[in-house]
Homo-oligomer: A and B are copies of this chain.
Amino acid sequence: MSAADAFVERLERARSGARTLAAATTDSKNAALEAIAVGLENAVPEIVAANAQDLARGEENGIGAGLLDRLRLDEARVRALAAAVRELISLPDPVGQVVRGSTLANGIAISQVRVPFGVIGAIYEARPNVTIDIAALAVKSGNGVVLRGGSAAEHTNAELVALIQSAVTSAGLDGRAVQTIDPFGREGAGKLMRARGYVDVLIPRGSAALISTVVNESTVPVIETGSGVVHVFVDETADDDMAVEIALNAKTHRPSVCNAAETLLVHRGAADRLLERLSESLLAANVTLYGDTAVTQRVPGVSPASDETWGTEHLALEMGIKVVDSLDEALLHIQRYSTRHTEAIVTRDYANAERFLSEVDSAVVMVNASTRFTDGGEFGFGAEVGISTQKLHARGPMGLPELTSTKWLVRGAGQIR
């Protein structure tokens, strides 16, 4: 069989397996999830051994410590993955939910119901936990899935996908609904992006560069899970303690994730009383600050901001800080530099709060809360599909319903037009 045929065969298996998952009851999908969790727990030695091969090759190839850490699976991490899969069992099954419906004047009954997409494609980098995450979410939402997980995690992913396939099959469903195209390398990823008719939606997870490549090259519809140049604006009337707590929490609680704040804007009317306190709290928490001149002139230890500061997603203990003359200037700055993920205002002024909520065009807009709350778990969705920064289909934290489409069921009694 040629490589091209072998590639198409995997897509066809995923599609055909997806049909059994689409028709599966919630009980059998939950049984498949439990089987995956048990499978993970039983295969800890094999998974860790396969992972060791990937880690050894990664070290040979000189990949960085951060990447190596994300690639690593030890027993504790495998057990945590199993626990995450089990959490999905208790979540409501979106498939079959009636979204809306009515009876038309002619007596025809129409109802719009949630159905699985069919086959989800996922392209991500060397993080084997995503293999389990996405496959488990796909199973629960009744979708097949084609995974492309990055060659650095090839051995680990092969072990995990084989385990998932046999777990799903052991639950009486078609395990072929879960496929990997890792053996087809970069060329396979390119083909997946053009696999219209086989793949219904493509979800890239990873760096901005990866997401941008998928968005630009894919002919399959994409759900973009984007990067976050996230802003906190401290308004003139902000409560002082609240402003400091939110700025600190938004920046330092978990700096490596997309809902961490990257830029702090401070209203000139609050700067006199708050600029030093805000800056010093952040500096004391080991945050490197890049300030405009209004900040550097007043606060020692703040580096001068460069042209790149305001558009950068640091994902680290680094932050831009800028004094603005007004809410309008804050809104303009956000409009220019935001990636439309999350922005927050800290204020006691009702009109400013409502204007900020209304005028900021981001997936999540907050008043007096830490940007760290933009999260599927915090929103009560119970599972982390990703945070969409696009406007089509899903925006903001995505739960299981965002992994479904709908169809209209029309029940008549012979009506014609």
Binding site for B on A (CB under 8 A): 22-23, 102, 104, 108, 110, 112, 115, 117-118, 196, 200-201, 215-216, 219, 221-223, 239, 241-242, 245-246, 248-250, 253, 344, 353, 357-359, 361-370, 372-374, 378-380, 390-393, 395-397, 405-417
Contacts and interface: CB of A to CB of B under 8 A. Distances in A.
A245 B370 contact: no
A271 B295 CA distance: 84
Given A249-B416, A378-B104, A359 B410 contact: no
A359 B416 contact: no
Contacts of A407: 361-365, 395-396
The SS class assigned to the A binding surface is mixed
A343 to B, nearest CB: 10
Q: What 9 A-B pairs have minimum CB-CB distances, sorted nearest first? A: A369-B412, A391-B405, A249-B416, A393-B393, A366-B410, A242-B414, A221-B392, A370-B416, A368-B412
A351 to B, nearest CB: 14
Contact of A368 (B102, B250, B414): B414
Contact of A415 (B362, B373, B413, B414): B373
A368 B407 CA distance: 17
A395 B114 CA distance: 11
Contact of A414 (B200, B222, B369, B412): B369
Given A104-B380, A357-B411, A378-B417, 5 more contacts: A245-B416, A392-B392, A396-B406, A396-B408, A397-B408
B246 A416 contact: yes
B358 A23 contact: yes
Nearest to A372: B417
Nearest to A413: B368
A148 to B, nearest CB: 19
Contacts of A219: 215-216
B378 A405 contact: no
Contacts of A378: 104, 417
Contacts of A241: 414
